Amino acid sequence: MHLQDFWRSPLRHLLTVRLTENSEEQTLTSTSDTDNPSHSADPSPRFEFIVEPYLSGVRIDSFLAKQLRNFTTWRLHRMVTAGMATVDDIPAEADQRVFRNQRVSLRLIEPPDKLLEPIDLPLTIVYEDPWLIVIDKPAGLVAHPVGDFQDGTLSNALQHYLDQKTALKGLLRPGVVHRLDRMTSGLIVTAKDHMSHRLLSIDFQQGKLSKSYVALVDGLPDFEQRLIELPIGQRPGGNTVLMSARPDSKNPRSAKTKVTVVERFATHALVECVLFTGRNHQIRVHLSDLGYPIAGDEYYGPRGTIRKSPRFDGEEPSEARHALHAAFLGFFHPILRQWMQFRTNPPPDFWAVARLDPRASGLSSL
C-alpha cells in the first residue's frame, strides 16, 4: 500500500507507550475515530500526548514536533490551524502554548513531510525494547545521512524497520545518540522516541556511559598498557575532516584513552581501547601518535603522519575497512534507569585486514 493510501484508509490502531522523566509517567495513545461513533465519518487517526515538565510553556506545534519527529513544525501548525488539535478536549489555537500535564490530542490528516527514506537493509539487532534498539553495525554503513551519504545509512534502515511495526509510516523516527565512523563496526544505540533520545543524550554528554573498542594495529607495541592523554583538535590546513594530536592542532580538546595489549601476532597486535572522552577519531589519532596506527586506516599513519589527503565531495569513497570494532557499550537505560551493557566480537572482515584467523585470538579473555 502506498503512503497516501495509508492516510486515506480506515484504520484501527492503538499504541500505548509509557515514558518517564523524574518519576513522572507519560502515556501516548493513538486511536482511529472509527472507534468513536460521533466521529465515524472521519477515519483519520488521532493521537494523544501528555505534556512533559521540560516542555511546559512551549507552543503546541513545537510540542507536537517533539512527539512526531517525522513531521515539520510547519505541517503540524497547519493541522492545528485546521482545527485538528485539542488541549484537554478544548479546540487549540494555532499559537497556543501548552503546559505540564495537559492532554494534547491531534488528528493526523496529513502524512509526515520530513520522513527519512526507509530502505530495507539487513540489521543485526543485539537488543530491543519499546524505547531503544542496540545494533551491531557493520563496517561501510554510515550512521545517518550526511555529506555524500544521503541514503543507505543505518538511520534509513532503522526507519524501514520501525515502519514495519506501526500502522502508519513515520510514526516513529530513529534517533542516533552517538556515532561510529563509517568503516568502524560494532555497537551503537538508537532511540525510538524523543524522551529516550533526550535522556540518553544527556547521559552521554555527562559521561555516564562505558565504551571500549578492539583494534588491530600495525607493529608490535613496546608496552603492555598505556594511558594516553593528548588533546585532539582539527588538523591544520584547508580540510578540517582529519584530526590531530599535534601541538599545532586547531581548537584542541582534552582526550583520554587507555590502551591494553591483548595479543601479539607476527606483525600486528590486538589491543583494547577504553575511552574516557569522545573526540572525533580519538582512538585512530591516539594510536597513530603512539606509532602503532590501526591496520587498514585510510588516513592516519605512524607518528601522526597522514597517509593520503581526504577525498573531495563527489569522489568515490574507499570500501576497504579498518580494523577497529566497538566491542563493548554500557549505559543507563533512559527510562528504567537500569545499567545495561553489551559486548560483541569483531566480524571476519576485521581480521581479514591483517590476514589473521579469528580463531587464534584471545578475545574470549576480555
**pTM for the full predicted model:** 0.83
Last residue of a domain, one of 107, 142, 175: 107
If pLDDT is split at 50, 70 and 90, which confidence band does 359 have?
Answer: confident
What pLDDT was estimated at residue 312?
54
Across the chain, mean pLDDT equals 85
Name the strand (E) or helix (H) holding 348.
helix 348-352
Taking residues 330-340, what's their average pLDDT?
96
List the CATH number of the domain containing 75. Answer: 3.10.290.10
283: cell is 582512538
What pLDDT was estimated at residue 241?
80
Q: What torsion do the CA atoms of 116, 121, 125, 129 make, to the nearest 10 degrees?
A: 30
From the list 33, 136, 181, 218, the catalytic residue is 181
Length of the chain: 366
Taking residues 31-48, what's their average pLDDT?
58
pLDDT digits (tens, 9 = 90+) for 221-244: 999 999 999 999 999 876 668 999
203: cell is 547521559
Cα gap 355→67, rounded to integer Å: 48
Q: Is 218 an annotated catalytic residue?
A: no
Taking residues 28-42, what's their average pLDDT?
44
| Domain identity same for 59 and 152 | no
| Domain identity same for 39 and 174 | no
CA 163 and chain centroid, separation: 17
CB atoms inside a 10 Å sphere around CB 268: 22
If pLDDT is split at 50, 70 and 90, which confidence band does 179 have?
Answer: confident
Question: Is the pLDDT assigned to residue 317 strictly greater than 80?
Answer: no
Task: Say if residue 125 is exposed, middle or buried (CB neighbours under 10 Å; 0-12, 13-18, 19+).
Answer: exposed
pLDDT digits (tens, 9 = 90+) for 79-129: 999 999 999 999 999 999 999 999 999 999 999 998 889 999 999 999 999
Looking at the chain, the whole-number percentage of residues with pLDDT higher than 90 is 71
| Domain identity same for 132 and 90 | no
Number of structural domains found in the chain: 2
Taking residues 265-276, what's their average pLDDT?
96
Distances (CA, A) of 185 to 143, 180, 265, 288, 299: 11, 7, 22, 19, 17
Name the strand (E) or helix (H) holding 105.
strand 103-107
Enclosing domain of residue 308: 125-365
The reply to whether 141 falls in a domain is yes
Which amino acid, residue 29?
T
Cα gap 31→356, rounded to integer Å: 55
| Domain identity same for 67 and 15 | yes
Instruction: Find residue 343's DSSP bridge partners.
Output: 328
310 secondary structure, DSSP code: P
| Domain identity same for 169 and 87 | no
List the CATH number of the domain containing 234. Answer: 3.30.2350.10
Looking at the chain, the whole-number percentage of residues with pLDDT higher than 70 is 81
| Domain identity same for 38 and 148 | no
The sign of the dihedral angle between the CA atoms of 69, 72, 75, 80 is: positive
Taking residues 311-326, what's their average pLDDT?
76
The reply to whether 67 falls in a domain is yes
Cα gap 43→203, rounded to integer Å: 40
